[in-house]
Copies of this chain bind each other. A is one copy, B any other.
Amino acid sequence: MSRPLDILVQEMRVITQLRKVAAVLSWDQETHMPANSAKARADQLALIISLAHSRFTGAEFRSSLGLLVDLKTGQVDAASLTADQVRMVEMTWRDWRRAKALPVDFIGKLARLTSEAQGVWQLAREKNRYDLFAPYLERIFEMKRQEADHLGYSGEPYDALLDNYEPDATAAQITALFDRLRPVLVDMVSRIGVDSGNGRTALLEQKFDLDQQWEFGLQVLRDMGYDMSRGRQDRSAHPFTTDFHPSDVRITTRLSETDLPMGLFSSIHEGGHALYEQGLNEAHFGTPLCEPISLGIHESQSRLWENYVARSRAFWSWYFPQLQERFPEQLSGASVDDFYAAINVVSPSLIRAEADEVTYNLHIMVRFDLERALLNKELEVSALPTAWSEKMQSYLGIKPRTDSDGLLQDIHWSLGALGYFPTYTLGNLYGRQIYAAADSQIHDLEGRIAKGDLKTLREWLRENIHIIGRARTAEELLVSLTGEPLSAEPFIAYLEEKYGQLYPQLKKSRPSMVGENNGR
């Protein structure tokens, strides 16, 4: 390693360690912290985060970085560096430029605003009082417009914010994808209609012992290759994954006696995230080579495991008998097919977080369209409730009766997390492309899953994605794995195949085969 790079990496490790320490504080806050110590914890978090920020944006880091890269253009002096090292420096410069772009005053002001807004949002949702939240939403969008200006963009302001979560993606690119996907989904939803489950879901509407749920979830996680000696699962109000180092990656789940799928799929979802973090190359800890590529790629790992593996027929052909053993009273009379159908019911609903695979992305499109319109001042905050209802009606055929079931349902805007929502759909699409690549490279993947062998897939993901860190961009990764850039086609094909079997009305009336039965 060159001497200037060595110095830079040392300093990056310190900054990363501070951020990871903040993550420990946050994890504790969500899982174990006593109720009345929130104030003290907020002070500790603010201190550590500001120490990390000021080191990253300080003179010392600047001069270390300046020895390796043109600070104006990002052009790396590649003379004595390997290709991976060049990428490491490029990515570091990119993060640094963004961190430097926002004035400290601005960061503080935005943090205070969103901190206050979260409380107001919570209250507004509880009391169905959009009028309470609207002034905050107004101010948040105004500050995010300023943030976009600080950060800079070539297309539209939305691009600058999207770049926080999905580097290189643009609103125009997302729009094109969504325009391809939307009519397919809208058509499927309208053909399926409101599916009450027709008794199929009665199987799930029973009580399931929490300890048994917990143990079953852990078993699946272990089978996936989640290393419990370098991670753990806890309970929290909202499931999440956090990492302090590749050797300490923790997940949380939420369990309910009356909602078996919720806890199970949330464990598997977070487990997918956790495998990514555990699979990073810890030799590069502290640098972009030991960081996930983007939120969309991260989400691809969780969705791949949650949906493409754990909602598949093959998966349950192995696990359903085991689930039956844990819940003989509830499940002994049911077949794998009953269970498979029950966990794959499609029906338009109001709440994004509870949506099925088909309708989920339509919820994202509602948010993307409205968020972008608000940011571009094509929509007034006061007109949002009406616009929300119209979008829901148009995409999903239903609309909320209250704002709490509508635009107040998600925390994201109150956090200032604009540009975040599309990464969920990107995760679904990336995930399907990646699954298809794995399927083509792993012999009999489905057969393996049907025998409880999940580790072969995990190993493939580790070698082809996790270990790489940010040495590749999302697009480079996809092209290297699949030969194609981001595309909705594999996802569409998957939905049509899977749900065509579950919902016969989706099978398009095929043109009658000319020549069939003609004679003989």
Q: B34, A20: Cβ atoms under 8 Å? A: no
Asked if A48 is at the interface (CB within 8 A of a chain B CB), the reply is yes
Q: Are A230 and B36 in contact (CB under 8 A)?
A: yes
In the complex, are the beta carbons of A245 and B40 less than 8 A apart?
yes
Instruction: List, in ascending order, chain B residues with CB within 8 A of A28's CB.
Output: 24, 28
Asked whether, in the complex, the Cβ of A245 is within 8 Å of the Cβ of B37, the reply is yes
Say yes or no for A33: interface residue by CB 8 A criterion: yes
Q: Which of A32, A43, A231, A248 has the most CB of B within 10 A?
A: A248
Interchain CB contact under 8 A, A34 and B229: yes
Which one, B14, B40, B44, contacts A47 given CB within 8 A? B14
Q: Does A21 contact B17, Cβ atoms closer than 8 Å?
A: no
A241 CA / B152 CA spacing, docked (Å): 50
Q: Is the interface on chain A under 10, 10 to 19, 20 to 34, or 35 or more residues?
A: 35 or more
**A72: Cβ under 8 A from any B Cβ:** no
A304 vs B91: C-alpha distance in the bound complex, in angstroms?
A: 58
Q: Are A18 and B47 in contact (CB under 8 A)?
A: yes
Contact A247 B21 (CB under 8 A): no
Within 8 A of B (CB), among A35-61: 35-37, 39-41, 43-44, 47-48, 51
A240: Cβ under 8 A from any B Cβ: no
Within 8 A of B (CB), among A196-249: 227-232, 234, 244-245, 247-248
**Shortest CB–CB separation between residue A442 and chain B, in angstroms?**
28
Shortest A355–chain B CB gap in Å is 33
- Alpha-carbon gap, A212 to B41, bound state (A): 32
How many angstroms between the C-alpha atoms of A232 and B250 in the bound complex?
Answer: 21
In the complex, whether A25 has a CB less than 8 A from a CB of chain B is: yes
A50 CB → nearest B CB, Å: 10
Name the residue on B nearest A231 (C-beta): B34
- By beta carbon, the residue of chain B nearest A35 is B229
Known: A24-B44, A28-B28, A44-B24. A248 touches B37 (CB 8 A): yes
Distance between Cα atoms of A44 and B52 in the complex (Å): 13
Q: Tell me the complex Cα distance, A24–B37, Å.
A: 13
Q: Contact: B232 with A32, CB < 8 Å?
A: yes
Q: Smallest distance from the beta carbon of A172 to chain B beta carbons, Å?
A: 41
Known contacts A17-B43, A17-B44, A247 near B25 by CB under 8 Å? no
Residues of B within 8 A of A35 (CB): 229
Pick the contact of A24: B14, B24, B227, B234 (CB < 8 A): B24
Provide the bound-state CA to CA distance between A52 and B505, in Å. Answer: 67
Residues of B within 8 A of A229 (CB): 34-36
Contacts of A43 in B (CB 8 A): 17
Q: Known A51-B51, A230-B34; judge A247-B39 contact (CB<8 A).
A: yes
A40 touches B232 (CB 8 A): no
A22 to chain B, nearest CB (A): 9
Assuming the A-B contacts A37-B247, A229-B35, A247-B39, are A44 and B25 also in contact, with contact meaning beta carbons closer than 8 angstroms in the complex? Answer: no
B247–A17 CB distance below 8 A: no
**Complex formed: what's the CA distance from A41 to B20 in Å?**
10
Q: How far is the CB of A246 from chain B (nearest CB, A)?
A: 8
The distance from the CB of A282 to the nearest CB of chain B, in whole angstroms, is 8
Bound-complex Cα distance A34 to B24 (A) = 13
Determine how close the nearest CB of chain B comes to the CB of A113; give it in whole angstroms. 24
Bound form: Cα–Cα A232–B31 in Å: 12
The docked-state distance in angstroms from the alpha carbon of A51 to that of B250 is 26
Contacts of A37 in B (CB 8 A): 230, 244-245, 247-248
Q: Which residues of B contact A231 (CB under 8 A)?
A: 34
Interface centre among A44, A48, A228, A229 (most CB of B within 10 A): A44
Q: Is the CB of B14 within 8 A of A21?
A: no
Residues of B contacting A21 in the complex (Cβ-Cβ under 8 angstroms): 21, 25, 44, 47-48
In the A-B complex, the 8 residue pairs with the smallest Cβ-Cβ separation, listed nearest first, are A40-B245, A37-B248, A37-B247, A36-B229, A35-B229, A36-B230, A17-B47, A40-B247
In the complex, 27 of the A-B residue pairs with CB atoms within 8 angstroms, ordered by the A residue number, are A14-B47, A17-B43, A17-B47, A18-B47, A20-B40, A20-B44, A21-B25, A24-B25, A28-B28, A32-B32, A32-B232, A32-B234, A33-B248, A34-B228, A34-B229, A34-B247, A34-B250, A35-B229, A36-B227, A36-B230, A39-B247, A40-B244, A40-B245, A40-B285, A41-B244, A44-B244, A51-B51
A17-B43, A32-B32, A41-B244 given. 12 additional CB < 8 A pairs?
Answer: A17-B44, A20-B40, A20-B44, A24-B25, A24-B28, A24-B44, A34-B231, A34-B250, A35-B229, A36-B230, A36-B247, A37-B248
